[in-house]
Amino acid sequence: RSRSVTTRAANQERSYVMVKPDGVQRGLVGKIISRFERKGFYLKGLKMFNCPEDIAKEHYKDLSSKPFFPDLVEYICSGPVICMIWEGKGVVKSARKLIGATNPLESEPGTIRGDFAVEVGRNVIHGSDSDENGEREIGIWFSSGEGTAEWTPHMEPWLREIG
Ligand code: GDP
Ligand code: MG
C-alpha cells in the first residue's frame, strides 16, 4: 500500500503550491503547471477545489491580525483553486523564486507574478515559504489524500547528479 499523503519520501522536499481563483479564471493553470514541470519538479498532488472559509483561515492563520485578512479569505474562497504538491530537491525555495515577490509590481519579470499580475490582492499563485509550512499546508489541503498518487519519476537520473 502507498504511504500516507502527509508523509514525504525520504530525502524529498515538498511544497504546497496553489493557483488562486484569479489564476483559474484567467486561464493560467496550464502555463503555471508547465513552469514547474520544465524546471524539473514532480507533481505529486493535484485537485480543483472550492475552498471553504475555515480552510482559508487555517492556511493563512499567521496573517489573521492583518487588516487585509478578511479580504484575503474572501479572495481565496471566491472561486475554485488548483491545489498542488510539487516535490524535488530544493523545491520550497525554488518555487518561491519561480513565483516571485508577494507584491507583483516588485516581482521580477520572468517570475509568475512578475509576468502575470499587478496587484498584491490578485497575485495568482501561492507557494509555501518553508519546509515546515509546506508539510503543514499539504496536511490542510490534502487531508483526505484525494488528488494524490504515488509514482516514481523515472527522469530522476537525468535531473539529479546524486539520487
Ligand atoms: P506570499 O507568501 O508571497 O503569498 O505572501 P504573504 O504570506 O505575506 O501573504 C499571503 C497573501 O496575502 C499574499 O499572497 C497576498 O495575496 C495577500 N496579501 C499580502 N499582503 C497583502 C496586502 O498588503 N494587501 C492585500 N490586499 N493582500 C495582501
Ligand atoms: Mg506566505
The tens digit of pLDDT for each residue in 42-98 reads 999 999 999 999 999 999 999 999 999 999 999 999 999 999 999 999 999 999 999
pLDDT for res 162: 76
- What is the distance, to the nearest Å, from the Cα of residue 6 to the centroid of all Cα atoms in its chain? 15
Average pLDDT over residues 3-13: 65
What amino acid positions are annotated as catalytic residues?
Answer: 126
pLDDT for res 16: 98
**What are 24-33's pLDDT values in tens digits?**
999 999 999 9
Residue 81 CA to residue 18 CA, distance in Å, equals 7
Ligand 1 surroundings by CB, under 6 angstroms: 63, 68, 71-72, 102, 120-121, 123, 126, 129
Can you say which residues are annotated as belonging to the binding site for ATP? Answer: 20, 68, 96, 102, 113, 123
Return the residue whose CA atom lies nearest to atom 8 of ligand 1: 102
Residues contacting 48, CB < 8 A, separation 6+: 24, 80, 81, 82, 83
Residue 11 has pLDDT above 90, yes or no: no
Can you say which residues are annotated as belonging to the binding site? Answer: 20, 68, 96, 102, 113, 123
Domain positions in the chain = 14-145
- How far is the first Cα of the chain from the last one, in angstroms, to the nearest whole number? 23
Residue 55 CA to residue 59 CA, distance in Å, equals 6
Helices then strands, each counted (H, E), the chain: 8, 4
Confidence bin at 163 (pLDDT 50/70/90): low
pLDDT for res 3: 46
The minimum-distance atom of ligand 1 relative to the CA of 122 is 16
Residue 2 has pLDDT above 50, yes or no: no
Domain 14-145 bears CATH identifier 3.30.70.141: yes
The minimum-distance atom of ligand 1 relative to the CA of 101 is 3
What nine digits make up the cell of 60?
Answer: 493563512
Q: ipTM for the complex? A: 0.98
Q: Measured at the alpha carbon of residue 61, what is the angle toward residues 136 and 83, in degrees to the nearest 5? A: 50
The Å distance, Cα 156 to ligand 2 centre, comes to 29
Residue 30 CA to residue 46 CA, distance in Å, equals 12
The minimum-distance atom of ligand 1 relative to the CA of 126 is 4
Return the residue whose CA atom lies nearest to atom 26 of ligand 1: 121
Are the beta carbons of 22 and 81 closer than 8 angstroms?
Answer: no
Average pLDDT over residues 133-146: 97
Q: Is 96 helix (H, G, I), strand (E, B) or coil?
A: helix
**CB-neighbour burial class of residue 78 (10 A; exposed 0-12, middle 13-18, buried 19+):** middle
Are the beta carbons of 111 and 97 closer than 8 angstroms?
Answer: yes
